[in-house]
Chains A and B, each alone.
Chain A
Amino acid sequence: MTARFRLRQALVIARLEMKRVFLARRSLWIYALALLPGVLFLVHALQLRYELSKAREGGTVAPAAVEAIEEGMSEEQVLALAGKPGEDRARTVHRTRRREEAGREIFETREARTRRMVYFDGARRAFLWFEDGRLRSKEVRPVLNFAEDREVYAGVFQYFYLRLAIFFGCLGIFLNLFRGELMDKTLHFWLLAPARREVLLAGKFLAGWTAASAVFTGGAMLAFAAMLWPHMGAGAEAYWQGPGAVHAARYALAALMGCAGYGSLFLAASLWIRNPIVPAAVLLLWEASSGFLPELLQKLSVLYYLQSMCPVPAPMERDVPTLLRLILAPAAPLSPWLALPGLFAFSALVLWAAAAGARRIEINYSTD
């Protein structure tokens, strides 16, 4: 048999297997996991677009007018400066004041007139709070914050997508390739084909990788597009023509390679260990601790390579608890040009070990 024939066999196996992987009812939760960030970003985008259209409905003022408004100004001064606000709401409230007189507590209540005005300068909203005709507080918030949204995306991608969604998604997909068929009692169908076990493994891995990549790379790109959407016409075009396309490609590559790395590990685990849930838990712990492992051991974690492929470092809030900070700490960075072949080599090594497991697999449905 030639290598070309075996490659063709592997492709046939992958094609046949993909029907099972994509259409499996037990894979539905994986789609949900992959689509969750996309849906959340889409909801966020819809909310921003709604806010934007609502703010535009009230008219816009010049950014300079918003800048010129200062605390202490009277309502009339503000109206003269910026004109009619987009939103204007006034109400009367009761203010209670406590004071002491001759050792006694005295509570005085008075009526106060408050007013809230909101101006929109095309990008930002200025919230003005008046009391008794004077501006007490001014807060200017951008409706669209592209930099913040990109940072949030980086955080969601690295903390949720890579560490949890792809990890558990691959667990579901790749464990099923052999173990799922053992449970369904259909694995013998493949073992009775005139194909080497290595070819079978390659075909099944290819099917799992294609399915996982389609689901997770698709999910990541959907979330990326949803993140960009409200910013189109407000800076996103420039970003897309600059580093944006490369960023998207690097996120896609990280998702793709994450599926290869975790996929190979779970495939090998399913062939070598009867109950792969335990090694999966150990692997999750190992991956989580990759940030504070010695550099040499970091190279034995998939996350080490994946983080280096991400274009934007994930944000870390200051008030994150120490333990979580340790878990979320990124591993030492590696050049993306090394990360890609590094993860390829890592996956190939794991698949080589998996092939040895495939050669010893036996059909004994009664005990599996």
Chain B
Amino acid sequence: MSAQEIVFENVSKFYGDVLGVNRIELRIPPGLTSIVGPNGAGKSTLMNLMCGLIHPDRGEIRVLGISPRNPERLMRITGYATQFDAAPRWATGFDFVVSSLLLFGYSSSLAERLAWAALEQVGLTDAAHRKVNAYSKGMRQRVRLAQALAHDPQVLVLDEPLNGLDPVVRAETIALFRQLAASGRHVVVSSHVLQEVDVISDRVVLMANGMIVAEGGIRGVREEIREHPSQFLIRCPQPARLAALLFERAPVAEARVIEEEGALLVLTRDRNVFTRTLTALAASGLGIESIVPADESVHALYEYLVGGSA
């Protein structure tokens, strides 16, 4: 197994009779990876397995070569901001981060310095000495993020980290994720808000019903799913004529003329042949104004894959 990747090999987890995840085969390289799926898809289970909060019933997991059953080594290189919202009653934001750092064996002064730096990174220094229980949802989210970041881990696992954040903080947080990923770390982020993932990352793991239904770059994932048609919106003065030509020359599954917009919506099963044909037709003087992939967003992909439940 690679010591540079997070590897799941045939991993299954059941909660009694309820499926958590099933037969997961996954390799996560460094960079920003998003795990996407609706509630109950198995995203949190996957993350909890990765960090040893739960153990698989079958299969094996390695995080940069370390088993999650060895928290002593694993958590030294991993930071996990869970979705669990509770925090110790006694803790202020600062105490909360410091106390976790003390468990790494840092001296009090170093732990306090690192905690302050982490709180600065998430913009929470003003509220650092307030009790976590008195924080808003977004602040609790940020203090968990600070705790996960504080020891500068190689692997950062973040379960729905943008939940409850206001737009400004959200943008800052996304920038922080990108910066961490760019520095060669593994940043694994889960989300059920698909548009969010579009913005955050190019690499996605799509989950549904405890299984991985697709993985890779968003474009790559799109290519993987050949049984589902790609969708293009083509603007031109003669959409009906263009539709007829495309039906003749390209593998078009469906075409719909949108008269009021002067556009044609086309579904094709072979993206490559279709784009070649379309390029040739454009060159022949049909007056094509624009070609826009209409389903490049994760949301569209997700609708294809799980039947539009998102």
* A residues lining the B interface (CB < 8 Å): 1, 5, 8-9, 12-13, 16, 19-20, 23, 184-186, 188-189, 191-197, 199, 360, 362-365, 367
Residues in A neighbouring B48, C-beta threshold 8 A: 363
Q: Closest CB of chain A to B209's CB: distance in Å?
A: 18
- 8 additional contacts (CB under 8 A) given A1-B72, A191-B71, A194-B72: A13-B103, A186-B84, A188-B53, A192-B82, A194-B75, A197-B71, A362-B54, A365-B84
Q: Is B75 a contact partner of A362 (Cβ separation < 8 A)?
A: no
Roughly how many angstroms separate A188 CA and B47 CA in the complex, as a whole number? 13
Roughly how many angstroms separate A197 CA and B15 CA in the complex, as a whole number? 22
Residue ID in chain A nearest B99 by CB atoms: A16
**Chain A CB within 10 A, most for which of B72, B87, B105:** B72
**Chain B CB within 10 A, most for which of A8, A20, A192, A365:** A192
Roughly how many angstroms separate A71 CA and B213 CA in the complex, as a whole number? 104
- We find that the number of chain B residues with CB closer than 8 angstroms to chain A is 29
Q: Closest CB of chain A to B292's CB: distance in Å?
A: 43
Roughly how many angstroms separate A12 CA and B99 CA in the complex, as a whole number? 8
Q: Is A363 a contact partner of B54 (Cβ separation < 8 A)?
A: yes
Roughly how many angstroms separate A19 CA and B95 CA in the complex, as a whole number? 12
Q: A12-B102, A189-B100 are in contact. Are A19 and B54 (CB under 8 A)?
A: no
Q: Is A193 a contact partner of B103 (Cβ separation < 8 A)?
A: yes
Contact with A along B223-249 (1 / 0, CB 8 A): 000000000000000000000000000
Roughly how many angstroms separate A8 CA and B105 CA in the complex, as a whole number? 8
Roughly how many angstroms separate A8 CA and B80 CA in the complex, as a whole number? 23
Roughly how many angstroms separate A23 CA and B71 CA in the complex, as a whole number? 29
Q: Is B71 a contact partner of A195 (Cβ separation < 8 A)?
A: yes
Q: Is A191 a contact partner of B53 (Cβ separation < 8 A)?
A: yes
Q: Is A20 a contact partner of B71 (Cβ separation < 8 A)?
A: no
Roughly how many angstroms separate A23 CA and B90 CA in the complex, as a whole number? 8
| Complex A-B: 20 CB contacts under 8 Å | A12-B102, A16-B99, A19-B90, A20-B90, A186-B87, A189-B87, A192-B53, A192-B71, A192-B82, A194-B72, A194-B74, A195-B71, A195-B72, A195-B75, A196-B71, A197-B71, A363-B53, A363-B84, A364-B15, A367-B16
Residue ID in chain B nearest A13 by CB atoms: B103
Q: A5-B105, A193-B103, A195-B72 are in contact. Are A362 and B53 (CB under 8 A)?
A: yes
Q: A12-B102, A13-B103, A16-B99 are in contact. Are A185 and B86 (CB under 8 A)?
A: yes
Residues in A neighbouring B71, C-beta threshold 8 A: 191-197
Residues in A neighbouring B137, C-beta threshold 8 A: none
Q: A9-B105, A12-B103, A13-B103 are in contact. Are A192 and B90 (CB under 8 A)?
A: no
